[in-house]
Amino acid sequence: MRIQTIPLHPERGVTLTAYLQDVGGEYGFLERPAMLVIPGGAYQFCSDREAEPIALAYANAGYQAFVLRYTVGDACAWPQPLDDYEDAMQLILDHARQWHVAADKIAIVGFSAGGHLAACAATLAQHKPAAAVLVYPVIFPDSSILPAVVTPDKPRLPSAEQCVDSATCPCFFAHGRDDRTVDIRHTLAMEQALAMHGIPFESHIYSRGTHGFSTAVPLMMRGDVCARVKNWVADSIGWLAEQLGTLTYDGFVPV
């Protein structure tokens, strides 16, 4: 695996880190699906627990993986984070041949505030992903969740469920029923909007998940979660195979 960090906007600390694997040779295929990881952090920082560990989980499933560290803090007035996403997707598309990425099989995964950015990418972006995995996502931002961002003097963040239309990509959800930071009503609102527009989705709401469980292995989280929460990673990979096709030695095959 080759790991490369590319500055997108150094003045704002925006970077794209690529986790690139070989193709050809011992492998029978010449391109891989890709996963762009968008960490959470209330638009004030990018969580390390929702960055490289997530990228490596999808890399282990055969994906070329990327982590976007987007604009946060004082400079993150909307739509700057979405613009950073567009720049990252354009860079991946521009390098798709060099990085052995199947350009029509680029998915995204976002957490919490990064889930809001991912949901907006799925609905509003010029470069929409092929599929979006939304993990305890913020869908309708308010000051109780994002106090430093949702203020009268800053541009209003979109409510992603209001932006769903027929062009929205399929979505996968993982959320804890007992999340006291981002209530499950966020996921439920997005699901209802997807259902109204006939967009495919799959949802896993766990009885105990709290907030910020990342991959839900013990070293990645605090709090009481049910043992099944960790299954969201494998379940999302299985769901993505249904959307994108399964990567085999002979290339992609439909599920």
Kindly report the CATH number assigned to the domain that includes residue 14.
Answer: 3.40.50.1820
For the cut 90, the answer to whether the pLDDT of residue 196 exceeds it is yes
Quick one: average pLDDT of 185-206?
98
Q: Which of 116, 153, 166, 135 is nearest to 53 (CA)?
A: 135
Tokens describing residue 106: 């680029």
Q: What tokens does 37 get? A: 């990881």
Query: How many domains is the chain partitioned into structurally?
Result: 1
DSSP 135: E
Domain limits for position 149: 2-253
- Residue 57 in tokens: 């989980």
Span 141-176, pLDDT tens digits: 999 999 999 998 888 999 999 999 999 999 999 999
Helices (H), 105-248: 113-124, 185-196, 231-244
pLDDT at site 254: 83
Provide the residue type at 187 as one letter.
T
Can you read off the two tokens belonging to residue 254? Answer: 């439909």
Q: Give 99-132 pLDDT, tens digit per residue.
A: 999 999 999 999 999 999 999 999 999 999 999 9
* Rounded CA separation 136/185 (Å): 10
Q: How many angstroms separate the CA atoms of 82 and 116, rounded?
A: 10
Q: What is the pTM of this model?
A: 0.97
Tell me which amino acid residue 142 is: D
Instruction: Give 223's pLDDT tier (boundaries 50, 70, 90).
Output: confident
Cβ distance 58 to 234 under 8 Å?
no
